[in-house]
Structure 1
Amino acid sequence: MRAPLPADEPGRLAALHDAQVLDTPPEEDFDDIALLASQICGTPLGAVSLVDRDRQWFKAKVGTDLEGAPRDLSFCTYTITSHDVLEVQDTAVDPRFAANPAVNAHRLKFYAGAPVVLDGTFAVGTVCVVDHEPRVLTDAQRRALRSLARHASVQLELRRYARHAGEIADRMRQLDRMKDSFLATVSHELRTPLSTIRGYLEMLLEDDFDAETSRRFLSVMSRNSDRLLRLIDELLMVAKMTDDRIQLDLAEVDLADLAHQATAACRALAEHRGVKLRDRTEQPVPARADGKRIAQVLNHLLVNAIKFTQPDGEITIDSTAEGEPELTITDTGVGIAADELPHVFDRFYRCAAAEVMAAQGPGLGLAIVKSIVDAHHGSVHLESEPGIGTTVRLTLPR
């Protein structure tokens, strides 16, 4: 049996495509949703599924290697025809699925999905779970599935708002109206982790979960709290940049030692992303600088390099003490197009790669880097080639 089309299928597809999330790389926020759905419902398979014109595509998945399925064979194409949970307790006795070849090929005996709704109207996908045995969800599991679907909707909405805010920011940059851009961008960056924290708090308060699931909830909330603190630190720095009030505590420092510390601090993140991080700073590199501020600069540059370097890529930090003290950070990442290079140090600028890779951040990191280096009367230069990588060269007074 073929599922009926939703009432406004063209509008639904328009909302889905406007989110620009189809065929994007995995993201931790969505991966967590799929995993939690599977754990809470006690099923081997869980997914965040998006239903396109002719296919179902998994933005996140647990327990399967499939990237998706033809829409005609999908359970989720039935779920998106309403705003309620669809539960198929036994596919063998359901005429919609009993003869479905995908159901029989993969021994899919149970399905439950909650619709992911955009604009309060369009069900563009689902948070769903599948089992190889017939079963029935508890009321608490159905509530959790609905809550996770709402959380997925918020994540999609925020990504769409962020992109629109970026487009607005580009126009405002041309008109020198950075105030509105600032408000739009910061609103998005604050709402994303706050919405995540709130969603998981709601679930923790609603039901009793086992210790493992509760720990995972708290881990997600802790990660998003750290993200909020980083954003606030960046905003405070921007306020100081705006008023030309960056205060420096100058002293004799060793840039090589600061590079060692920054590399050690970022190594866990690099390993998590599957990126090699090499520290080739060996000889002391004396300079006169604010050690805490330069450590902040190096952290921004290394995190940026890790963020835009694919797994199995490499990042190298090197130094020279000949002439002016200099550090270089070279990566084999995605690179930056030539027409974007003049803007990379602008406040709130996000390059095309940041949008494609759904990289977090309001576009303040490199602007902060340049302001700190300028306050030291130093220089920072960036060279890049798409598909080859990027080199950042940092020079300070001796």
Structure 2
Amino acid sequence: MTHYATGRLLLTPVDRDGHVRAERLRTLGLGERADTSFDSFDAFADRVAEVTSTPYSMVNFIDENRQFFAGLHTPAGNRSGADLGAAAAGCHRSGRYMARDHGYCPHVLVRRKALVLEDVCDYPRFAGNPVVDEIGIRSYLGAPLIDRTGVALGTVCAVDTVPRPWGRPGLATIKSLAQELIGQIDRREAPRR
């Protein structure tokens, strides 16, 4: 078993598709560099925050070792991730990268199913994640981005610092947003095919 330095049990799921996903992300030109223009993903993250009425939302691509917020909405609107507690949460390079064992998106990715956590503290598996103490995350709503080839590229998610009653409407909303975004990614790739 692996533990965090704090003694907490590391409960990030094993990702057997990381290599395939990393290759697919490279093919699509996604998730590699923070200096790439991702304005459309930032705009999409803004829309997710607006639709879900949350202070934070992300379009997150995950390779074998880390998470990359290609789209990022924060309350300050600065896109750097600084107000996301980036440094404390294992992030680096402009706050758009986060360690793979932080947060809940890796769970969504491996499960290939949406995840609704109205209060992360209600679930021992999720309450011990570093984002709870270091960033103050209390609720999470995320869905996988599964492309036309069947590869789960990442997630779209909304998070809040207070518990949220997402319910079935929240689940339907995040799944619909994920489908919309994967359609945009597919259209972006179409000219290359």
TM-score, length basis structure 2: 0.76
Distance verdict in 2 for CA 1:55–1:8, change over 3 Å = closer
Please show how residues 168-247 of structure 1 align to structure 2 within 5 Å: none
Could you tell me how far 1:7 is from its partner in structure 2? 4.7
Secondary structure at the counterpart of residue 129 of structure 1: strand
Give the secondary-structure state (helix, strand or coil) at the position aligned to 1:127.
strand
Alpha-carbon distance in 2 for matches of 1:93, 1:111: 12
Q: TM-score normalised to the size of structure 1?
A: 0.38
Aligned partner of 1:105 in structure 2 is 134
Per the alignment, residue 12 of structure 2 pairs with 3
Q: Answer yes or no: is 1:14 the counterpart of 2:43.
A: no
In the alignment, structure 1 residue 31 sits paired with structure 2 residue 60: no
Q: Kindly provide the amino acid, as one letter, of the partner of residue 152 in structure 1.
A: L
Instruction: List runs of 5+ in structure 1 lacking aligned partners.
Output: 166-398
Report 1:281-300 matches (<5 A). Answer: none
Question: Greater Rg, structure 1 or structure 2?
Answer: 1
Task: In structure 2, give the amino acid aligned to 1:86.
Answer: L
Q: Which of 114, 120, 124 lines up with 1:95 in the alignment?
A: 124
Verify the 8 A CA contact 1:82 1:123 in the aligned structure 2.
no
CA distance in structure 2 between the partners assigned to 1:17 and 1:6 by the alignment: 18
SS at structure 2 position matched to 1:31: helix
Decide whether aligned partners of structure 1 residues 7 and 55 sit closer, same or farther in structure 2, where only a CA change above 3 A counts.
Answer: closer
What residue in structure 1 maps to residue 61 of structure 2?
50
- Once the two structures are superposed, the pairs formed by residues 121-132 of structure 1 within 5 Å of their partners are 121-132=150-161
Where do 4+ consecutive residues of structure 1 move more than 4 Å? none
Equivalenced residue count is 163
The equivalent of 1:148 in structure 2 is 177
* SS of equivalent to 2:179: helix
Q: Contact 2:21–2:63 at 8 Å: present in 1 too? A: no
Task: Give the conservation status (yes or no) of the 8 Å contact 2:141–2:157.
Answer: yes
Question: What residue in structure 1 maps to residue 143 of structure 2?
Answer: 114
- Indicate if the aligned counterparts of 1:40 and 1:141 stay in contact, CA closer than 8 A: no
Partner Cα separation in structure 1 for residue 120 and residue 169 of structure 2: 22
C-alpha separation in 2, matches of 1:128 and 1:52? 17
2:168 aligns with one of 136, 139, 147? 139
**Taking CA–CA contacts closer than 8 Å with sequence separation of 6 or more, which of the two structures ends up with the larger relative contact order?**
2
Percent of pairs with identical residues: 28
Please identify which structure carries the higher helix content: 1
| Structure 1 residue 55: Cα displacement | 0.9
- SS of the counterpart of 1:160? helix
